[in-house]
Structure 1
Amino acid sequence: MNKKQSLLLAAILAASTLAANAQMRHEDTEVYEPVPNVVTPGKTTGDAPSDAIVLFDGKNLDQWTMTDHRGDPANWFVADGILTVNKRSGNIETKKSFSNYQLHLEWRIPSNITGSDQARGNSGVFLASLGKGDAGYELQVLDSYKNKTYVNGQAGSIYKQFIPLVNPARPPGEWQTYDVIWTAPTFNDDGTVKTPARVTVLFNGVLVQNDVSLLGPTQFVGKASYQNAKHGPAPIKLQAHGDRSEPISYRNIWVREL
């Protein structure tokens, strides 16, 4: 088909569409079913909606377990409605596993933070935990307010994979928020990736990751890949990084399964 024939075909299709629309009523494009479920939003922005699973409500860690010793109670510190990292105990993760979800959590760098670069309140949210240690897909948590570090390792980054679009970090001592839309990867029977993991992240209400397709689970050394990474639903994990700076705190953590 040459260019003239292509233009003629396009014109015929456009004319057909206009003719079909001219014969339609406005009711023909109005859809009434299925009716979306009613969800009651939180009283204020950031509060859990009615269909959310509350992972931390400021009272206890009943929804969490130790990563390296699943089944053991999570032994981070809970006081005054706040969850604080226990650097000596290791990572914690949810007892429940998830596929696709919407996640909200709030975190705070201590006002008396010391150090620099990656040794400045380092933690992480693993959007899918794949076992002991730091196996999984990490959304970095770090003091990135006037703290220079490698940009694919600052707050809001998908660690060692994607730089945040902007840096909306607040100063140490102020609460910060992550709102995450996570789409889990799928795999073929032979273990190869069928569809990669995707994630959208709002950091303090600002878009920093826009439906990015992850290259695989996080790697501290080397490039991420899905080789030998086949998995199903997975827990959400919080990292106890173990550096010498003051530990990070969390509050108001909830998730909606999608």
Structure 2
Amino acid sequence: MRCRIIGWAAAMMLAAVTAGAQQATDPVQGTWRGLFTDKAWQNTPLSAKIVADGKGLYRVFVELADTDGKPVSALARGAFDGKKFTVDCDLDLGASLGGTCKLTAKGDGAHITGKFKGKNAPGAFKLDHVFIQPPSLGAKPPANGIVLFDGKNLDAWQPTEKPWMIVEGGAMQVGKGNIVSKQEFGDHRIHLEFRTPLMADKRGQARGNSGVYVFGRYEIQVLDSFGLPTADNECGGIYKKAVPKTNACLPPTEWQTYDITFHAPRFDAAGNKTKNAVIKVELNGIVIHDNVELDGTTPGGVSGVEAPKGVLLLQDHHNAVQYRNIWIEPLD
């Protein structure tokens, strides 16, 4: 099997703890980090993002640097039989690393050992399964903060069809129909935490889909996009408006954070818009949109007409996405 080269998409600025501190739903899927062990490359770092595809099959996004320090990424394929994870694949690491090489690896849910074999290939390596904790996970609201959900009740929300439910652990789970905050806001900062379900046999927009609609009008996508190329309809994308600067997603079933700073559009006395809305989005502590101007609304919200104030809407897209620790800090 020959494996295609993909673009470099590293988001390495998150704190990590080794396997054992947290139990993943899938024993193999997730972030792996380690070092090369052969003499020429000894202690040189590499990493991999392993994505479950169902039926014991996985995509393995390998990330390393060439001899000039330039990032290299390649896609391999792996399999897990319930006890052992294996990779046996040809892939092209580029001319400086000898071109096409053979990647073999084996391991379990905690450790993987393997080797790149070929001319100028970097040789043997060891990887450990790590679990990343976003820096704002569990953040408390400021003194002027408005708590929309703290795990106790849904009093701050209005369902559009049926009420959502609070599940074990104090999260609310997507139900039938969107859910909308009863209160409107102007300029504000949003903190919320979410996790997508493991849907390894699904693809694309059917894989843990929901959305955070700022002002009820501008959608920040929620989706299981772990390890994938960025797009406006992948997790962190502003739907049909802006592509994230990088993929900062964590694997499904792991809690993730959005910290969103939003400045509302401005209008004159006659109601004409004089300034576009501006948004900054941090996903798991990494800035993925840095003061992006929004020239209009995105589809599927409460209205296609912009306004000086708006609600927070969480989207039902028929997947069991969960949310918790939602609060607003007014900025006006």
Taking structure 2 as the reference length, what is the TM-score of the superposition? 0.54
Identity over the aligned pairs, expressed in percent? 39
Q: Which runs of 5+ in 2 are unaligned?
A: 1-135
Partner of residue 224, structure 2: 143
1:216 aligns with 2:292: no
- Higher normalized contact order (CA 8 Å, seq sep 6+, divided by chain length): 1
1:118 aligns to what SS in structure 2?
helix
Counterparts of 1:250 and 1:44 in 2: how far apart (Å)? 12
Find the partner of 2:278 among 198, 206, 221: 198
Residue aligned with 1:153, SS: coil
**Distance across 1 between alignment mates of 2:233 and 2:199:** 22
Offset at residue 157 of structure 1 (A): 1.1
Cα pair 1:187 1:230 within 8 Å, conserved: no
Other-structure match for 1:173:
253
Secondary structure of the residue that 2:206 maps to in structure 1? coil
Q: Which residue pairs with 2:153 in the alignment? A: 60
Equivalents in 2 of 1:49, 1:229: separation in Å? 31
SS at match of 1:97: coil
Q: Does 1:255 align with 2:328?
A: yes
Q: Which residue does the alignment assign to 1:85?
A: 174
Q: Does 1:128 align with 2:215?
A: yes
How many angstroms apart in 2 are the aligned matches of 1:123 and 1:166?
20
1:8-87 equivalent positions in 2, closer than 5 A: 46-67=139-160, 75-80=163-168, 81-86=170-175
> Which amino acid counterpart does residue 172 of structure 1 have in structure 2?
P
Q: Residue 164 and residue 230 in structure 1: after superposition, are their counterparts in 2 closer, same or farther (change >3 A)?
A: closer
CA RMSD of aligned residues (A): 2.2
- Is 2:183 the partner of 1:96? yes
Q: Which amino acid aligns with 1:183?
A: H
Measured against aligned partners, the alpha-carbon deviations of 1:34-81 in whole angstroms (never above 9, x if no partner) come to xxxxxxxxx98622222211110011100000246xxxxx61010220
Write the deviation string for residues 107-143 of structure 1: whole angstroms up to 9, x where unpaired: 00113454111111111000012xxxxxx11111111
Residues 192 and 166 from structure 1, CA distance in 2 versus in 1: closer, same or farther, beyond 3 angstroms? same
Amino acid of the structure 2 residue aligned with 1:64 = W
In structure 1, C-alpha distance between the alignment counterparts of 2:211 and 2:292, rounded to whole Å: 18
Structure ID, larger Rg: 1
Q: Which has the higher strand share?
A: 2
* Structure 1 residue aligned with 2:198: 111
Aligned to 2:129: none
Alpha-carbon displacement from aligned partner over 1:170-210 (angstroms, at most 9, x marks no partner): 01110110001010112234443211010001100000000
Between Structure 1 and Structure 2, which shows a larger proportion of helix residues?
A: 1
Residues 137, 193 of structure 2: 8 Å contact kept? no
SS at match of 1:107: strand
Contact 1:113 / 1:121 at 8 angstroms: preserved in 2?
A: no
CA distance in 2, matches of 1:75, 1:58: 15
CA distance in 2, matches of 1:44, 1:151: 25
Tell me the equivalent position of 2:71. none
| Matching residue's letter, 1:193 | K
> Secondary structure of 2:232's match?
helix
Deviation at 1:229, TM superposition (A): 2.1
Q: Report what 1:159 is aligned to.
A: 239
| 2-structure distance, mates of 1:213, 1:92 | 26
Q: Verify the 8 A CA contact 1:67 1:91 in the aligned structure 2.
A: yes
Counterpart in 2 of 1:236?
A: 312
1:117–1:147 contact (8 Å) kept in structure 2: no
